[in-house]
Amino acid sequence: MRATLRKTIFFIAIILMAAAVPALSLASGAKPKAAPSAHPQLTDQEKLTPCAQCHKDATPDIYQEWYDSVHGIANVKCFQCHGTYENFRVEPNETNCAACHNKQYQKRPKGKKCWDCHPAHNFFVHK
């Protein structure tokens, strides 16, 4: 069962990564108008489940990294970076980082994304 689950998670991850490609191209180029939806389809009722409730099991390593990070302790939740279903982004828009880290965002090295130096989900000060 556990192995099947891991395969499923892997499969979902592949889908997510595939969906992330247009997100990446948007993030580096023109203004995004309609956010790409890369999340598996859910009913409106299912969407009332907090992200972490599923992802604690669906992506346990990522969940644990986040939980142990300063974002986890300070209760910075998944949707604050990734949005919710209608504006979901696998790779967040960096302006979401700037909501709290604008000074650092303005000073970031050219051509670098925030997570190039501050790994996503554990947010060490630098890689």
Partner 1 sequence: MGLSRREFLKRTAALTAASYVGMNLPISMEGEAQATDADSWHPGTCRLCGSGCRLELGVKDGRAVALRGISKSRTNFGYLCMKGMLFYKLMGDNHPDRLKKPLYRARKDQPFKEISWDEALDIAAREFANAVKKHGNDSVAYYGSGQALTEETYIFQKVMRGGLRTNNVEGNPRLCMASAVGGYITSFGADEPIGSYDNFERASCFFIIGSNTAEAHPVLFRRIMRRKMDHRDTVKVINADPRISPTSRIADLDLVFEPGTDLALLNAMAHVIVNEKLYDQDFINNYSTFRKGKDKKQVSFEEYRKFLEDYTPEKVAQLCRGNMTAEKIRTAARWFATSEGTMSIWTMGINQRIRGVWANNLIHNLHILTGQLCRPGADSFSLTGQPNACGGVREGGGLCHILPAHRLVKKDKLRHQVEKLWGIPEGRIPPKPGYHTVAMFEAVNQGKIKAIWINCTSPAQSLPNCDKYKKGMARDDVFMVVSDIFPTRTTELANLILPTAFIFEKTGVYGCTERRSQLTRKAVNAPGEAKPEVWMVREWALRLSRELNDPVIKKCVEPFMGKEPDYELPRSIWMEYTQKLTKGRDNDLSGATYEVLAKLPDGVQWPAPTEAFALKGGTDIKFVRGIDPLADKHAQNEMPYQFYGPAHPDRKLWIWLRPQKGPAEMPDEEYPFYLSTGRIIDHWHTSSMTGRVMELVRANPYAFVEINPKDAEKLGIKPNDMVEVVSRRGRNVLPAKVYVGPCEGMVFVYWHDMAEDRMINRVTKDAFDPGSKEPEFKICACRIKKVSGPKPLKPFIVEMS
Residues engaged in binding partner 1 (CB under 8 A): 4-5, 7-9, 11-12, 31-35, 40-51, 53-54, 57-58, 70, 73-77, 79-80, 83-87, 93, 95-96, 98-103
Task: Give min distance, CB of 116 to partner 1, in A.
Answer: 19
Nearer Cβ to partner 1 (33/127):
33
Cβ contacts of residue 17 below 8 Å, gap of 6+? Answer: 90
Nearer Cβ to partner 1 (20/94):
94
Nearer Cβ to partner 1 (79/115):
79
Task: Give min distance, CB of 58 to partner 1, in A.
Answer: 4
How far is Cα 45 from Cα 77, in angstroms, rounded to an integer?
Answer: 20
Task: Give min distance, CB of 127 to partner 1, in A.
Answer: 19
Token pair, residue 112, equals: 């670098």
Task: Give min distance, CB of 28 to partner 1, in A.
Answer: 12
How far is Cα 36 from Cα 47, in angstroms, rounded to an integer?
Answer: 17
How far is Cα 123 from Cα 42, in angstroms, rounded to an integer?
Answer: 29
Do residues 114 and 97 make contact, with C-beta atoms less than 8 angstroms apart? yes
Nearer Cβ to partner 1 (15/120):
15
How far is Cα 110 from Cα 86, in angstroms, rounded to an integer?
Answer: 30
